[in-house]
Chain A
Amino acid sequence: MSSESKVNWPRLYAVVLGELALLILIFYAFTKAFA
């Protein structure tokens, strides 16, 4: 992952934002599960 040509940028951006969405869901479930 050290060269520009090897990285699919749109996919990597989607992964970052997808991870954020997943974390929000997990945190919400965490909040509800133990409230």
Chain B
Amino acid sequence: MRPIDWVVLIGTLVTIVAYGTWKGRHKKDLDGYLLAGRQLKWPTIALSIMATQASAITFLSTPGQAYTDGMRFVQFYLGLPIAMVILSITAVPIYHRLKIFTAYEYLETRFGVGTRTLTSLLFLIQRGLSTGITLYAPALIVSVILGWNIHVTNVVVGLLVVIYTASGGTKAVSRTQVHQLLIALGGMAVALIIAIHSLPQEVTLVEAFRVAGRMGRLNAIDFHFDPKTQYNFWSGLIGGAFLALSYFGTDQSQVQRYLTGSSVAESRLGLLINGMVKVPMQFFILFVGAMVFVFYQFVAPPLFFNTIQRAKVSTSQYAAEYEKLEAQHQTQFTEKRADVQRLLTAMRAHDDAATAIATTALREVQERETATRTAAASLINRTQPGADNSDTNYIFLTFVIDYLPAGVVGLVLAAIFCAAMSATSSGLNSLASTTVVDIFRRLGKPHATDAECVRLSKLATIAWGLFAIAFAEFANRLGSLIEAVNKLGSLFYGTILAIFLLAFYTKRVSGTAAFLGALIGEAAVVWCALATDLAWLWWNVIGCVVGVVAALIVQRFVPEQQGRGTRDEGSADGGLGRGTEPA
């Protein structure tokens, strides 16, 4: 990092934190603190929704995914636009009419306090943990680049987010997210331009595409159905739609974004714009990774991208073995570069036979190179059992640090930090809302004043920030971070979605049946996770379907009078009992 990089990085972060604190400086009631006074317009809502989902993990791990596995991860997002349309039609009008603070409040009007509390707790566990992972990503960057202690880094980054999130509430979060997302996308665009510009001069853009395609890195769509494959068209469209329905429809970190809308139309437009922009945006980020992959066909990549693990193995008893693998990797790279040149020459000459031969040779050497990388990872695992032996998260970062010019490194790092801060702030903000509204105000002190609740929301934001920092300590054992976050969510999302679907679309299912159905659905998901090879995107479908079917079956055996939930008259924001049917 050169001085100009530091200026750009620190300047951006200080400006963002100061801007967020300034934007949220006015004294607020609970509605103002948790929902920005319900006054936001669709552009802010749309960008805030996108920024909440697009964390630093998205910008760090996704290009690495494309590098190691190609662009098929984009299929994960195919169900998202469908979910946005469904939610715009169903959930948004209901939430707006009820004037709720959290999605879980709605469940009490339908199923009673037990179901509301269960879903709130599931959310708090899942979001609390995943916010920790979200925080870990940028801490990882700084610890690798600067050799800082990762524990200290986690605390510093976490505290920066807590400052403006606790002081300014939702308004500060949403307003800063607009700028954070634009900075993040700008940084990625600059990285892409430089990656393409850094290719050898004689290689055209189309040729770069062809090299990436021949080496399996532009595999955006795969219609082959296999329940054990993580990413194909069907798992993305069906499993992804269930995941997106649950994430955007029932996860408070997202629901809170569009509850800030000044009308149903503003909230709907925010969701629908997200539905239109998200898939191309993910394609773009994956494409950056594919171009970094092409770049490393002409410039030798390290055998293992995690410099810390590399240093550790080099000083261990396996040092000689690792050195041998490095030499082997270098030979394979030289061989591969020659094959790439042969492929380009054959393609330029329109010689199909020579192109086919060069492609086969290239794929064969690539397989050997992958085997060498796997052997290196296994060696690292032997050196340090339990250590992170996946370098997916470090690939893009290594490229940025090693090959981007002064100033741009600072910009890309600022982009990654901005993304981390925006997703973390949404997470903390929603965790605080649920803690105060669904737990404290509902179960602890129903007559608490707005001032008390705002004060407690600030304290809850700080407390959840500390929890996230603590959990971040464990995140380095989770492999690809973007997968880890989504896998963690998929353990709970199907079940939570089942409860909401029962609430939205059934009139006779009681709170008891919904509660038991949810427990059975969750048990089914846990069984799938522990005892089967089923790809995790399908857990969302299993949890939802089993939860709904089990509740309908249980309902046949429970008394009818439990069909409506009750709510204490004395609850602080009473009046939720009105209009609980779908629009």
Interface residues of A (CB under 8 A from B): 1-4, 7, 9, 12-13, 15-17, 19-20, 23-24, 27-28, 30-31, 33-35
Contact = CB atoms under 8 A, between A and B. Distances in A.
B212 interface: yes
Contact of B220 (A3, A13, A19, A31): A31
Specify the main secondary structure of chain A where it touches its partner.
helix
Nearest to B218: A34
A33 B340 CA distance: 18
A33 B349 CA distance: 18
Contacts of B89: 9, 13
What does DSSP make chain B's interface, helix, strand, loop or mixed?
Answer: helix
A2 B41 CA distance: 7
B288 to A, nearest CB: 15
A9 B268 contact: yes
A18 to B, nearest CB: 10
Contact of B210 (A1, A2, A16, A34): A34
A4 B82 contact: no
Interface in B215-243: 216, 218-223, 233
A10 to B, nearest CB: 10
B265 A7 contact: yes
Which has the most chain B C-beta neighbours within 10 Å: A1, A23, A35?
A: A23
B279 A23 contact: yes
Given A16-B84, A19-B81, A20-B81, A27 B221 contact: yes
Given A27-B220, A31-B218, A2 B265 contact: yes
Contacts of B279: 20, 23
B137 interface: no
Contacts of A27: 74, 220-221, 283
The 9 A-B residue pairs with the shortest CB-CB distance in the complex, in nearest-first order: A34-B213, A27-B220, A4-B265, A20-B81, A28-B221, A27-B221, A34-B218, A13-B85, A16-B275
5 contacts: A4-B264, A12-B272, A16-B85, A20-B81, A31-B221
B78 A28 contact: no
Interface residues of B, number: 35
B88 interface: yes
B42 interface: yes
A24 B279 CA distance: 10
Nearest to A28: B221
Given A9-B89, A19-B276, A24-B233, 8 more contacts: A9-B268, A16-B85, A20-B82, A20-B279, A23-B279, A27-B220, A31-B213, A34-B212
Contact of B81 (A2, A3, A4, A17): A17
Nearest to B236: A24
A13 B272 CA distance: 8
B28 interface: no
B49 to A, nearest CB: 14
B276 A24 contact: no
Contacts of B233: 24
A35 B214 contact: yes
B219 to A, nearest CB: 6
Contacts of B78: 20, 24
A27 to B, nearest CB: 4
B266 interface: yes
Contacts of A2: 41-42, 265-266
A14 to B, nearest CB: 9
B122 to A, nearest CB: 29
Contacts of B219: 31, 35
B218 to A, nearest CB: 5
B214 A34 contact: yes
B218 A35 contact: yes
